[in-house]
Amino acid sequence: MYRQHFGIKAAPLGKEQSELWDDGALACLHECFQWLLQSPGLGLLTGEAGVGKTAALRHLTQGLNPHRYQTIYLAETDFGRTDLYRSLAMALGLEPAYRRAQLWRDLKAHIQELADNKQLLLVWIIDEAQSLPPEFFRDLPAFLNFAFDSRELMTVWLVGHPCLAHALSRAPYAALAGRIQVRARHRTRTLCRVDYPCA
Protein backbone atom coordinates (compact mmCIF):
# COMPACT_ATOMS: atom_id res chain seq x y z
CA MET A 1 0.00 0.00 0.00
CA TYR A 2 2.81 2.44 0.82
CA ARG A 3 4.24 1.87 -2.68
CA GLN A 4 1.06 3.20 -4.25
CA HIS A 5 0.95 6.11 -1.79
CA PHE A 6 4.49 7.21 -2.65
CA GLY A 7 4.33 6.18 -6.31
CA ILE A 8 7.19 3.69 -6.18
CA LYS A 9 7.43 0.24 -7.78
CA ALA A 10 9.58 -1.58 -5.23
CA ALA A 11 10.70 -1.36 -1.64
CA PRO A 12 13.38 1.39 -1.43
CA LEU A 13 15.85 -0.91 0.34
CA GLY A 14 14.53 -4.23 -0.95
CA LYS A 15 16.77 -7.04 -2.18
CA GLU A 16 15.19 -6.92 -5.64
CA GLN A 17 16.62 -3.47 -6.36
CA SER A 18 18.94 -3.39 -9.36
CA GLU A 19 20.26 0.07 -8.51
CA LEU A 20 21.68 0.91 -5.09
CA TRP A 21 21.39 4.27 -3.41
CA ASP A 22 24.87 5.79 -3.19
CA ASP A 23 25.89 8.54 -0.81
CA GLY A 24 29.50 8.23 -1.98
CA ALA A 25 30.25 4.98 -0.17
CA LEU A 26 29.52 2.76 -3.16
CA ALA A 27 31.74 4.81 -5.45
CA CYS A 28 34.56 4.53 -2.93
CA LEU A 29 34.13 0.77 -2.64
CA HIS A 30 33.94 0.51 -6.44
CA GLU A 31 37.34 2.21 -6.67
CA CYS A 32 38.83 -0.21 -4.12
CA PHE A 33 37.19 -3.19 -5.82
CA GLN A 34 38.54 -2.22 -9.25
CA TRP A 35 42.02 -1.70 -7.83
CA LEU A 36 42.04 -5.28 -6.49
CA LEU A 37 41.01 -6.53 -9.92
CA GLN A 38 43.92 -4.74 -11.54
CA SER A 39 46.36 -5.63 -8.74
CA PRO A 40 45.07 -8.94 -7.37
CA GLY A 41 45.35 -9.56 -3.67
CA LEU A 42 43.46 -9.60 -0.41
CA GLY A 43 40.73 -7.14 0.60
CA LEU A 44 38.92 -6.72 3.90
CA LEU A 45 35.43 -5.20 4.08
CA THR A 46 33.85 -4.82 7.50
CA GLY A 47 30.73 -3.18 8.89
CA GLU A 48 27.80 -3.73 11.18
CA ALA A 49 25.08 -6.16 10.12
CA GLY A 50 22.61 -4.69 7.65
CA VAL A 51 24.64 -1.77 6.30
CA GLY A 52 24.79 -3.24 2.79
CA LYS A 53 28.21 -4.89 2.45
CA THR A 54 26.91 -7.93 0.59
CA ALA A 55 24.49 -5.92 -1.56
CA ALA A 56 27.31 -3.59 -2.59
CA LEU A 57 29.60 -6.46 -3.61
CA ARG A 58 26.75 -8.19 -5.44
CA HIS A 59 26.19 -4.96 -7.37
CA LEU A 60 29.90 -4.60 -8.17
CA THR A 61 30.29 -8.18 -9.40
CA GLN A 62 27.21 -8.16 -11.65
CA GLY A 63 28.99 -6.15 -14.31
CA LEU A 64 32.22 -8.17 -14.39
CA ASN A 65 33.27 -9.60 -17.73
CA PRO A 66 32.89 -13.41 -17.41
CA HIS A 67 35.69 -13.86 -19.95
CA ARG A 68 38.11 -12.10 -17.61
CA TYR A 69 36.83 -12.86 -14.10
CA GLN A 70 35.34 -15.87 -12.34
CA THR A 71 33.49 -14.86 -9.19
CA ILE A 72 32.91 -17.37 -6.40
CA TYR A 73 30.71 -16.26 -3.49
CA LEU A 74 30.79 -18.19 -0.22
CA ALA A 75 28.67 -17.38 2.83
CA GLU A 76 28.71 -20.75 4.60
CA THR A 77 31.72 -20.13 6.83
CA ASP A 78 30.91 -21.89 10.09
CA PHE A 79 32.70 -25.08 9.04
CA GLY A 80 36.20 -26.49 9.20
CA ARG A 81 38.93 -25.11 6.98
CA THR A 82 39.01 -28.17 4.74
CA ASP A 83 35.26 -27.85 4.12
CA LEU A 84 35.83 -24.27 2.94
CA TYR A 85 38.43 -25.36 0.41
CA ARG A 86 36.14 -28.19 -0.69
CA SER A 87 33.38 -25.63 -1.27
CA LEU A 88 35.77 -23.63 -3.43
CA ALA A 89 36.77 -26.73 -5.38
CA MET A 90 33.14 -27.66 -6.08
CA ALA A 91 32.34 -24.09 -7.15
CA LEU A 92 35.23 -24.35 -9.62
CA GLY A 93 33.92 -27.65 -10.97
CA LEU A 94 36.60 -29.80 -9.36
CA GLU A 95 36.15 -33.10 -7.55
CA PRO A 96 37.41 -32.30 -4.02
CA ALA A 97 40.22 -34.56 -2.86
CA TYR A 98 39.83 -36.18 0.53
CA ARG A 99 43.22 -35.08 1.87
CA ARG A 100 43.76 -31.37 2.40
CA ALA A 101 47.27 -31.42 0.90
CA GLN A 102 45.98 -32.87 -2.37
CA LEU A 103 42.96 -30.57 -2.30
CA TRP A 104 45.29 -27.58 -2.04
CA ARG A 105 47.50 -28.81 -4.86
CA ASP A 106 44.47 -29.36 -7.11
CA LEU A 107 43.01 -25.95 -6.32
CA LYS A 108 46.26 -24.07 -6.80
CA ALA A 109 47.00 -25.87 -10.06
CA HIS A 110 43.51 -25.01 -11.31
CA ILE A 111 43.83 -21.35 -10.28
CA GLN A 112 47.18 -21.15 -12.08
CA GLU A 113 45.64 -22.76 -15.16
CA LEU A 114 42.81 -20.20 -15.12
CA ALA A 115 45.35 -17.39 -15.00
CA ASP A 116 47.89 -18.74 -17.48
CA ASN A 117 45.76 -20.54 -20.06
CA LYS A 118 42.40 -18.80 -19.87
CA GLN A 119 43.49 -15.34 -18.67
CA LEU A 120 40.82 -15.56 -15.97
CA LEU A 121 41.20 -13.98 -12.53
CA LEU A 122 39.45 -15.82 -9.71
CA VAL A 123 37.56 -13.46 -7.39
CA TRP A 124 36.68 -15.30 -4.16
CA ILE A 125 34.27 -13.41 -1.89
CA ILE A 126 33.97 -14.91 1.59
CA ASP A 127 31.01 -13.41 3.43
CA GLU A 128 30.37 -13.77 7.17
CA ALA A 129 34.14 -14.14 7.49
CA GLN A 130 34.01 -13.40 11.22
CA SER A 131 32.80 -17.01 11.58
CA LEU A 132 35.80 -18.54 9.79
CA PRO A 133 37.87 -20.93 11.91
CA PRO A 134 41.22 -19.59 13.18
CA GLU A 135 43.04 -22.33 11.26
CA PHE A 136 41.73 -20.92 8.00
CA PHE A 137 43.20 -17.50 8.75
CA ARG A 138 46.56 -19.12 9.49
CA ASP A 139 46.37 -21.20 6.29
CA LEU A 140 45.33 -18.49 3.87
CA PRO A 141 48.72 -16.77 3.39
CA ALA A 142 50.26 -20.09 2.32
CA PHE A 143 47.33 -20.83 0.02
CA LEU A 144 47.82 -17.44 -1.68
CA ASN A 145 51.54 -18.10 -2.21
CA PHE A 146 52.25 -18.87 -5.87
CA ALA A 147 55.68 -19.25 -7.48
CA PHE A 148 57.82 -18.34 -4.46
CA ASP A 149 55.26 -15.65 -3.61
CA SER A 150 56.11 -13.79 -6.82
CA ARG A 151 52.63 -13.96 -8.41
CA GLU A 152 49.17 -12.85 -7.31
CA LEU A 153 46.76 -15.10 -9.20
CA MET A 154 43.51 -14.45 -7.35
CA THR A 155 41.61 -11.75 -5.49
CA VAL A 156 40.03 -12.60 -2.15
CA TRP A 157 37.57 -10.41 -0.24
CA LEU A 158 36.97 -11.18 3.44
CA VAL A 159 33.63 -9.62 4.38
CA GLY A 160 32.32 -9.49 7.92
CA HIS A 161 31.48 -7.64 11.10
CA PRO A 162 33.89 -5.14 12.73
CA CYS A 163 35.15 -7.84 15.10
CA LEU A 164 36.81 -9.45 12.05
CA ALA A 165 39.23 -6.54 11.63
CA HIS A 166 40.00 -6.65 15.34
CA ALA A 167 40.65 -10.40 15.23
CA LEU A 168 42.99 -10.11 12.24
CA SER A 169 45.05 -7.47 14.06
CA ARG A 170 46.16 -10.08 16.60
CA ALA A 171 49.70 -11.49 16.51
CA PRO A 172 48.78 -15.05 15.35
CA TYR A 173 47.43 -13.58 12.10
CA ALA A 174 50.28 -11.19 11.34
CA ALA A 175 51.15 -13.02 8.11
CA LEU A 176 47.58 -12.63 6.84
CA ALA A 177 47.27 -9.02 8.01
CA GLY A 178 50.46 -8.20 6.10
CA ARG A 179 48.84 -9.41 2.88
CA ILE A 180 45.73 -7.23 3.15
CA GLN A 181 45.99 -4.60 0.42
CA VAL A 182 42.62 -2.89 0.89
CA ARG A 183 40.78 -2.30 4.16
CA ALA A 184 37.34 -0.73 3.97
CA ARG A 185 34.74 -0.14 6.66
CA HIS A 186 31.03 0.57 6.35
CA ARG A 187 29.86 2.88 9.11
CA THR A 188 26.09 3.12 8.96
CA ARG A 189 25.87 4.78 5.54
CA THR A 190 29.47 5.84 5.04
CA LEU A 191 32.36 3.75 3.81
CA CYS A 192 35.82 4.84 4.92
CA ARG A 193 39.01 3.73 3.29
CA VAL A 194 41.47 2.69 5.95
CA ASP A 195 44.27 1.33 3.79
CA TYR A 196 44.33 1.82 0.05
CA PRO A 197 47.76 1.81 -1.60
CA CYS A 198 46.65 3.72 -4.69
CA ALA A 199 45.02 6.59 -2.82
Domain presence at residue 4: no
Q: What is the pLDDT of residues 74-106, one digit of tens each?
A: 999 988 999 999 999 999 999 999 999 999 999
Residue at 94 is within a domain: no
Where does the pLDDT of residue 155 fall: very low under 50, low under 70, confident under 90, or very high at 90 and above? very high
- Helices 81-91, 100-117: axis angle to 10 degrees equals 40
Instruction: Residue 72: give its domain's CATH number.
Output: 3.40.50.300
Number of structural domains found in the chain: 1
Residue 157 maps to a domain: yes
Q: For residue range 158-186, what is the model confidence (pLDDT) as tens digits?
A: 999 999 999 999 999 999 999 999 998 86
Across the chain, mean pLDDT equals 86
Percentage of residues in the chain having pLDDT higher than 70 = 80
Find all residues with CB under 8 Å of 82, minimum gap 6, and list them.
100, 103
State mean pLDDT over 131-139.
95
Q: How far is CA 127 from each of CA 4, 64, 100, 110, rounded to the nearest angstrom?
A: 35, 19, 22, 23
Beta strands in 20-106 (DSSP E): 42-47, 69-74
Once rounded to an integer, what is the mean pLDDT over residues 124-144? 96
| pLDDT over 50 at 21, yes or no | no
- Please name the residues in contact with 135: beta carbons below 8 A apart, sequence gap of 6 or more: 80, 81
Return the pLDDT at 122.
97
Domain range holding 127?
A: 22-84+118-195
Confidence band, pLDDT 50/70/90 cuts, at residue 199:
very low
Q: What is the mean pLDDT of residues 41-54?
A: 89
Higher pLDDT, 30 or 61: 61
* Model pTM score: 0.84
Q: Does residue 8 belong to any structural domain of this protein?
A: no
In a domain, 42, yes or no: yes
How many residues make up the chain in this entry? 199
Chain-centroid distance, C-alpha 27:
17
Is 173 contained in some domain?
yes
> In 3D, which of 133, 129, 138, 122 has the Cα closest to residue 41?
122
